């Protein structure tokens, strides 16, 4: 009897999860199907899900109507630089907060975490003025440099992993004559690969979808990222929704690939960070 109740509970739970997954997938399905429609079919009431006919040329037109190739290149290289820099800066700060003893370490860490409660919109004006003084406006440096700075969430995530590493390993390395940098680079970093992978994936997804900062700091179309390029489909008097949906579907491919490949690392990294330290 108890086994039967457990099975029924498991079935009910899976049904709820399947229903939730279907509901969350609906916007994605609607986007892809809208990309295959004629513009006159997008806002038909009642909505018409299946395109009639399927207009596959919308995808080709969306790529050729605007310089999407350049936008893809800009997004890719900006993302790669930001991911590498964030992994480096966050891991160094996390190692210091977890393993290096210095005055006011804990209060400084709490103060650092408190920055997570400050929205980016609050600091956008002083940041804009600083970048203007540096001459970085309408330059990719205005996107790369601020995004490469320390990330409070990333530091917290990696710190939890560092705190879970036995201190005996560090003490043994010190006895063998290893310096602090050697311990960090050759011993500690290889042990936190799941957390580094999770943070790298989070950073990539966040930067790929970033629209606010490029909108503020970039003006030249040849410097636009993918979200900015998609925004150009919005005209003053009309919006070509089919081409926008086609471009958004294509822009989503790298995100899906990264998520599918790194899903295991995301789950492992977040789960282990919650039980260590």
- 9 with 75, same domain? no
Is 125 inside any structural domain? yes
Work out how many domains the chain is built from and give that number: 2
What is the tens place of the pLDDT at every residue in 137-151?
Answer: 999 999 999 998 878
Both tokens of residue 86? Answer: 């964030």
Grade residue 97 by pLDDT with cuts at 50, 70 and 90: very high
- 108 with 19, same domain? no
Q: Give me the pLDDT at residue 257, please.
A: 86
- 216 with 268, same domain? yes
Q: Is residue 35 predicted with pLDDT exceeding 70? A: yes
Average pLDDT over residues 51-77: 86
What is the tens place of the pLDDT at every residue in 13-27?
Answer: 889 999 998 898 888
Is 158 inside any structural domain? yes
Is 45 inside any structural domain? no
Q: Is residue 177 predicted with pLDDT exceeding 80? A: yes
Q: Give me the pLDDT at residue 19, please.
A: 92
Mean pLDDT is highest, among 86-95, 186-195, 243-252, for 86-95
Grade residue 157 by pLDDT with cuts at 50, 70 and 90: confident
Q: Is residue 218 predicted with pLDDT exceeding 80? A: yes
Q: Give me the pLDDT at residue 134, please.
A: 92
- 156 with 72, same domain? yes
Is 250 inside any structural domain? yes
Q: Give me the pLDDT at residue 276, please.
A: 47
Q: Give me the pLDDT at residue 242, please.
A: 85
- 18 with 144, same domain? no
- 23 with 89, same domain? no
Is 90 inside any structural domain? yes
Q: Is residue 155 predicted with pLDDT exceeding 60? A: yes
- 254 with 150, same domain? yes
| Mean pLDDT score of the chain | 85
Q: CATH code at 65?
A: 1.10.3720.10
- 70 with 129, same domain? yes
- 79 with 11, same domain? no
- 209 with 88, same domain? yes
Q: Give me the pLDDT at residue 36, please.
A: 87
Q: Is residue 10 predicted with pLDDT exceeding 90? A: no
Is 41 inside any structural domain? no
Is 51 inside any structural domain? no
What's the per-residue H, E or C state across the chain?
CHHHHHHHHHHHHHHHHHHHHHHHHHHHHHHHHHHCCCHHHCCCCCCCCCCCCCCCHHHHHHHHHCCHHHHHHHHHHHHHHHHHHHHHHHHHHHHHHHHCCCCCHHHHHHHHHHHHHCCHHHHHHHHHHHHHHHCCCCCCHHHHHHHHCCCHHHHHHHHHHHHCCCHHHHHHHHHCCCCHHHHHHHHHHHHCHHHHHHHHHHHHHHHHCCCHHHHHHCCCHHHCCHHHHHHCCECCCCECHHHHHHHHHHHHHHHHHHHHHHHHHHHHHHHHHHHCC
Q: Is residue 68 predicted with pLDDT exceeding 80? A: yes
- 75 with 206, same domain? yes
Is 149 inside any structural domain? yes
Q: Is residue 81 predicted with pLDDT exceeding 90? A: yes
Grade residue 83 by pLDDT with cuts at 50, 70 and 90: very high
Grade residue 57 by pLDDT with cuts at 50, 70 and 90: confident
- 1 with 71, same domain? no
Q: Is residue 277 predicted with pLDDT exceeding 50? A: no
Residue 26 structural domain: 1-31
């Amino acid at each position: 009897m108890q086994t039967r109740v457990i099975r029924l509970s498991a079935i009910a739970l899976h049904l709820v999860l399947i229903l939730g997954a279907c509901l969350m997938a609906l916007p994605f399905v609607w986007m892809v199907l809208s990309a295959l429609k004629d513009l006159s079919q997008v806002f038909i009431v009642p909505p018409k899900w299946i395109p009639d006919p399927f207009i596959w040329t919308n995808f080709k037109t969306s790529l050729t109507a605007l310089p999407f190739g350049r936008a893809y290149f800009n997004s890719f290289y900006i993302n790669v630089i930001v991911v590498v820099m964030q992994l480096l800066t966050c891991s160094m700060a996390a190692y210091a907060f977890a393993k290096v003893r210095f005055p006011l370490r804990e209060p400084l860490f709490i103060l650092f975490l408190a920055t997570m409660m400050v929205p980016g919109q609050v600091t956008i004006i002083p940041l804009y003025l600083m970048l203007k003084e540096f001459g970085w406006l309408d330059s990719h440096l205005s996107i790369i440099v601020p995004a490469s700075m320390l990330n409070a969430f990333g530091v917290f995530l990696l710190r939890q992993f560092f705190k879970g590493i036995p201190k005996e390993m560090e003490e043994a390395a010190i006895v063998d004559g290893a310096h602090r940098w050697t311990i960090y680079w050759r011993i500690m970093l290889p042990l936190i690969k799941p957390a580094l992978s999770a943070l790298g994936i989070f950073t990539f997804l966040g930067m790929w979808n970033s629209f606010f900062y490029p909108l503020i700091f970039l003006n030249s179309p040849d410097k636009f990222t993918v979200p900015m390029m998609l925004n150009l489909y919005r005209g003053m008097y009309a919006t070509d929704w089919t081409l926008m949906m086609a471009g958004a579907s294509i822009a989503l491919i790298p995100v899906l690939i990264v998520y599918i490949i790194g899903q295991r690392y995301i789950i492992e990294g977040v789960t282990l960070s919650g039980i260590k330290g």
